[in-house]
Structure 1
């Protein structure tokens, strides 16, 4: 375990131990006893992850004298069982056995075991099989409930083990997905800087360093990641684990999730990519495209001087609460999503006077803020090259997203979550749609990449 992970672990609320490195799969029994004492264990996996590492973990625990129940094995592909009902079935099995879940796998399996254990008030362990997402050490469980993907309350694992040799052997697309998810921390950080500047949510310097400190290095070797280089995957895995630990330390997902995730969340809630073959579109791939989209928006914004923003005109143009709610309903018609979007959007609504205060703060902070944003962000075109080198998508066409639908996401995604991002700042300044139009103009960032 690196010094950085050790420092993050000291700030975490749920995770007590993390083991990362080559060959650490053999350390699972020792780590299990260190965290859970003489509790029983049950390995949870699916047919693929059991073959990759699950049976080895089960055998190692049994050989070390840990009492183990028969493994709980889900059939087939993760998309076949990523539903809350399966978390409830697993919960009932765990209750009957009295065993601690040791989930061996990636996103969906982790979410199922996380929620099942949470409903029992029990801790659990995760053995990561791919560097595919930042959710291993994060709280919250993302599962489909009544057909809609939702984030359900659930603590992070008490123990996380990441064997880099196992991760390096994972399908390249899973590593590329993790790269896309981690790259999104760049725009998430920029959004936090904006939220801090307007007084919406102050930056916590210690938590900021947990995510942003190792980020550039972890993103620096996309071609090596695509080639399965163990050292490069170690950097990626550490960055992903750090993001989850930082969310624990912050008691929220702000350090690792910004407007790029709003793009992804909207597409997920509307089912985009669910039917993609041979594998459904991953969360990390959607975050990757969202990150390029948001970075391009920041670049357009940084061409302007917000220090001279006409605050009075923006305040006059700001809609009333009733008008804002009608706007949400105009952009979201899907049952379930529309109600949640109204609730979330109105939770962050401020009246014209509040908008005026925010915009005055933004204009005052702009000279220093714009310099810091330029230093912090990587150019959108460079991000596209990095993503493609890692094997991840970098253009909406590469995730089979329609051009008009993609453009509309800039406005629609601002209307689904209470989190304050650059999208909110621009909406309040009455600049969001003009800047989006600039991006899609023939000589704009996306206009130059428009499909024929």
Structure 2
């Protein structure tokens, strides 16, 4: 058993929902046995889009029919790309309700998330057939979906069984593998965010889920060039790394082990339908730039003399909840995003006395905290090199985001989640706007066209 298989086996031991994960070459041929042993004889209802049908759906159908199993299929269009929305998931719920067949998600992010939601609504377990190493959601209990324009993670249940056929995964578009690499790389700044929350007494690190994500993270990220080439072993390692993140999120009961400011930045672009050359920018590409941005903020913070922070002046100049609410309304207007951001911000806002205590703790523990953060993060230049080697966007300009838009996004992303991140510690210390003013779109260093 290689390292990838050992990682998956360890994840299966802690999962309350996932009974099997078959990651091997030719794994599609094992679908009939997995289906009958874990779901019974009711047959399969395949849900795919035009691309994932050609990648795996057609062959999957043939294997199932050859085994004498009943098969139905519903295909979404490949273009325009399906959007991960509650509305689409509700439509699939109605379609699945009309049959007793086992739901089978044939695809990656969007397909898996909408089927996960629909199956959960019906109280029905489902089978996931992965078609790309493009994200960490195959094994997670959460379904990140937009509802009325606001993207949120809805807690559901992971699939009961997962098939990752390495012959399919290694032939996925190279860009999709880079998205998965970026999603996994985002756990570096997400881990730093959790360290800050832990140190300041906001949210303690839960050691089991932390270790599942972080203990071997740099090993799984160590071969970006091979990921870009579609090397089978590198793709297997990447899938295993992404899978264990999902297991950790299920264990923890939230996305905290995997998501921080990087995803807040990314989700805002996704909610705004960020597009480049007529195509929506992928989640993984948004996370690549979100993670790099978070690391640039960490790099800036770690150069500051926090020991010299004037706590009383900072507390005196801190914005009230009313002022933050006015800022949210200015940025988002009366939209659903604005309404949800007000609620999320209310949950994490602290008043004068609590802020004073928090800043006092930050100042007192800063030498030790700074050392913990330096061990966790990568320098932006090193992170950029890894992204480029994997074929991922390595600057905001690469996804069509200019400097002004990047800075607006980061300032607005502060409000999207109640989760405490680098954005919050910068805001609490009165340093956020100064730090953000140092960000640029990277056009001068990216080496790519915007």
Deviation of the 1:139 alpha carbon: 2.1
Quote the residue 2:27 is aligned against: 24
Deviation of the 1:449 alpha carbon: 5.1
**Residues 382 and 243 of structure 1: CA distance in aligned 2, closer, same or farther (over 3 Å):** same
Quote the residue 1:34 is aligned against: 37
Q: Give, in whole Å, the separation in 1 of the partners of 2:272 and 2:91.
A: 26
Quote the residue 1:213 is aligned against: 215
Q: How does 1:104-253 map to 2 (within 5 A)?
A: 104-253=106-255
Of 198-207 and 8-17, the range deviating more from structure 2: 8-17
The superposition leaves residues 88-147 of structure 1 with CA deviations (integer Å, 9 ceiling, x where unpaired) of: 332222222111111111111112211111111111110100001111111232334345
The superposition leaves residues 386-438 of structure 1 with CA deviations (integer Å, 9 ceiling, x where unpaired) of: 11111111111110012211122222111111111011011011111222234
Structure 1 alignment gaps of length 5 or more = none
Cα pair 1:102 1:127 within 8 Å, conserved: yes
Of 343-352 and 2-11, the range deviating more from structure 2: 2-11
Q: Give, in whole Å, the separation in 2 of the partners of 1:339 and 1:81.
A: 22
Of 22-31 and 97-106, the range deviating more from structure 2: 22-31
Quote the residue 1:2 is aligned against: 5
Quote the residue 1:406 is aligned against: 406
Q: How does 1:24-423 map to 2 (within 5 A)?
A: 24-65=27-68, 67-77=69-79, 79-80=81-82, 82-273=84-275, 276-277=276-277, 279-333=279-333, 335-423=335-423
Cα RMSD (Å) of the superposition?
2.2
Cα pair 1:127 1:160 within 8 Å, conserved: yes
Structure 2 alignment gaps of length 5 or more = none
Cα pair 1:184 1:288 within 8 Å, conserved: yes
Q: Return the TM-score normalized by structure 2.
A: 0.93
Cα pair 2:264 2:413 within 8 Å, conserved: yes
The superposition leaves residues 183-235 of structure 1 with CA deviations (integer Å, 9 ceiling, x where unpaired) of: 10000000000000111111111111111122111111111111111111111
**Residues 326 and 147 of structure 1: CA distance in aligned 2, closer, same or farther (over 3 Å):** closer
Deviation of the 1:150 alpha carbon: 4.3
Deviation of the 1:82 alpha carbon: 4.2
Deviation of the 1:239 alpha carbon: 0.9
Secondary structure of the residue aligned to 2:162 is strand
Deviation of the 1:59 alpha carbon: 2.2
Cα pair 1:69 1:97 within 8 Å, conserved: no
**Residues 81 and 358 of structure 1: CA distance in aligned 2, closer, same or farther (over 3 Å):** closer
The count of corresponding residues between Structure 1 and Structure 2 is 445
Deviation of the 1:382 alpha carbon: 1.1
